[in-house]
Amino acid sequence: MADTKPRSIRTDRSRVRGLGAAHHGVEHWWAARVTAIANILLGFCFIIIMASAAGRPWPEAVLIVSHPVVAVLLALLVVSVTYHMRLGLQVVIEDYVHDEGLKLAANLANTFFAVLIAGICLFAIVKVSLLRALPL
């Protein structure tokens, strides 16, 4: 009797562990999807926050943005967006940069740029949040 099971070049162990040809799972794919969903949800929060602060005098806008819940939501948005940005550009670099040295340099620059942008944005959020403690 002929074997009717389709043959695979993957070992039983790699099928169980979920490993693909690159010997790693789908963590990168999942991280991109999770951050995309987080960006959508946090983006709606951002729109609501900015709409509520729009047109108000500076002291009132600072009070809105410096509220602890709002500041945390904005910080989460910054982290999620910059991480998602780094993941997306990493895929482009890996797909289109073929020289290994240049690929490493581009990925390092990508990571440093994402961290720089996140750091600047988080610093701004902290600075505005601390303005609440000052008399305006």
pLDDT of residue 23: 56
Note the Cα 66 to chain centre separation in Å: 23
pTM (2 d.p.) = 0.78
- Residue 21 clears pLDDT 70, i.e. is over it: no
CA 35, CA 89: separation in Å to the nearest integer? 14
Average the pLDDT over 20-31 and give the result: 73
Torsion over CA: 110, 113, 115, 118 (sign)? negative
CA distances from 51 to 24, 43, 116, 126 (A): 43, 12, 27, 20
pLDDT score at 107: 96
Q: Region 13-41: what's the mean pLDDT?
A: 79
**CATH topology for the 27-131 domain:** 3 helical TM bundles of succinate and fumarate reductases (1.20.1300)
Residue 24 confidence (pLDDT) above 70: no
pLDDT tens, 54-103? 999 988 999 999 999 999 999 999 999 999 999 999 999 999 999 999 99
Answer yes or no: are the C-beta atoms of 92 and 109 closer than 8 Å: no
Nearest in space to 114 (alpha carbons), one of 74, 87, 75, 94: 87
Query: Where do the structural domains in the chain lie, given as residue ranges?
Result: 27-131
- pLDDT (0 to 100) of residue 22: 58
State pLDDT tens for residues 107-126.
Answer: 999 999 999 999 999 999 99
* Overall average pLDDT of the 39-68 stretch: 94
The pLDDT, as a whole number, for residue 136 is: 53
